[in-house]
Amino acid sequence: MDASSRADVIQAALRKARDADCRMVDMRFTDLPGQWQHFTLPIDKLEESAFEEGLGFDGSSIRGFQQIQESDMLAFPDPSTAFVDPTLEVPTLVLVCDVGDPISGQPYSRDPRHVARKAEAHLAASGIADTSYWGPEAEFFLFNHARFDYTDHSGYYAIDSEEGIWNSGDEREPNLAHRPRHKEGYFPVPPIDRQQDVRSHIVLGLVNAGVDVEAHHHEVATAGQAEIDLKYTTLTRQADQMMMFKYIVKNLARQHGYTATFMPKPLFGDNGSGMHTHQSLWKKGANLFFDPKGYALLSEAARWYIGGLLKHAPALLAICAPTTNSYRRLVPGFEAPVNLVYSRRNRSACVRIPMYSAKPSARRVEFRPPDPAANPYLAFAAMLMAGLDGIRNKIEPPAPVEKDLYDLPPEEAAKIQSVPGSLYEVLDALEADHAFLLHGGVFTADVVETWLEYKRTREADEVNLRPHPYEFMLYYDV
């Protein structure tokens, strides 16, 4: 973007603040695990120089960033991301920021948004395509109550929902019944679906913030599982929107008396929450994934892209399904997409080819193992790099499987590989297989090493060290 165009974008952002009578401006950036962080200025303290010079913050207090002896960092607001926060009482303009190093003057290698930007630049430089489009389906739960704690001598969680089928026998008056049974939440109308209005309020908040929403609906599980579908857009923009999405869902849910969680598997015995991610590559306005003669109308490039996703899936999941809880969802034999195959329409495969439309523009691949605990900047960038590796090396995926993968004869089922079953396993896979991420400098060794260290020591080891409540059911009387 040239200087005059950037100046116009800055003025448009400031005009948006004036039109909404904003009193504050919120600077937001993303830590390495994928949480938004922020600090706030009175609107009259936002000077145009901040867009070029940045604003300082303590990087040593941000997860996955700096050590204390190198703490000073800069946040550079991106004026093209400006939106008015639809959840705050005080009118507030939000600006998503890139993170920079004040000593080197360079973008910060561990800034997830910088990784996403580099992925898009790498795609354009590759000659394979000039644009990638992304359409994640991030599921979530809306509960009425959530308690949890862990100490050296106790540990518990307790979730409740007015919609939970377990409340059918609740003796409190009145019990108005009409709740979705386990695995029957897709898609009965109200009164079984009690959350129609709250989802609609969330959608209106998203639309007011500039997010293009296609639809919302109740999902499969009891107790308030939901999905809101965003229209596809480019990689970094979609990652920005996913951060907006999670923030707006949580805050508007709270205002309506609910607590929202994107935890992959909060309930035992019912469906978990995934982030099925639709993706396609385009060049000069044409969809490279379409071929009218190909299987499921897929081109060779699309097939090789799928080959890259499936080959690198174990490593990808360290970034795309990055929590210990993710592997309560990704369990063989249930509805989770754990089978390393592809197929049209088949939702039990890791890669599904949606067949709703035969239009060239609709041809895409859907990678189903990711979940909404992922950092979207890193997850989308990693999937793109795996797919590009598949195209460069013409990686052929296994033959497509049209059968129900949960009902195969044992001799056929034994031939189909599954994704790994724990966070430890996928972290080991990423350590052994990450050269495809380093291509073109999109990810750096520093980012991969920091990710592995953080996930192992701060999450996997911490969960592994603690007794599980169900272990008392199994072993207390040994």
List, by residue number, the catalytic residues: 58, 137, 139, 219, 227, 276, 347, 366, 368
CA distance 217 to 261: 16
CA distance 313 to 369: 9
Supply angle C-alpha 223, 226, 230, rounded to 5.
170
Q: Is 13 helix (H, G, I), strand (E, B) or coil?
A: helix
SS3 content of the chain, % helix, strand, coil (to 5): 40, 20, 40
- Per DSSP, the residues of 305-353 read HHHHHHHTHHHHHHHHS-STTHHHHS-TTSSS--EEEEEES-TTEEEEE
270 by Cβ neighbours in 10 Å (0-12 / 13-18 / 19+) ranks as buried
CB crowding 449-476: b at 16 or more within 10 Å, else e: ebbbebbbeebbeeeeeeeeeeeeeeee
CA distance 7 to 142: 41
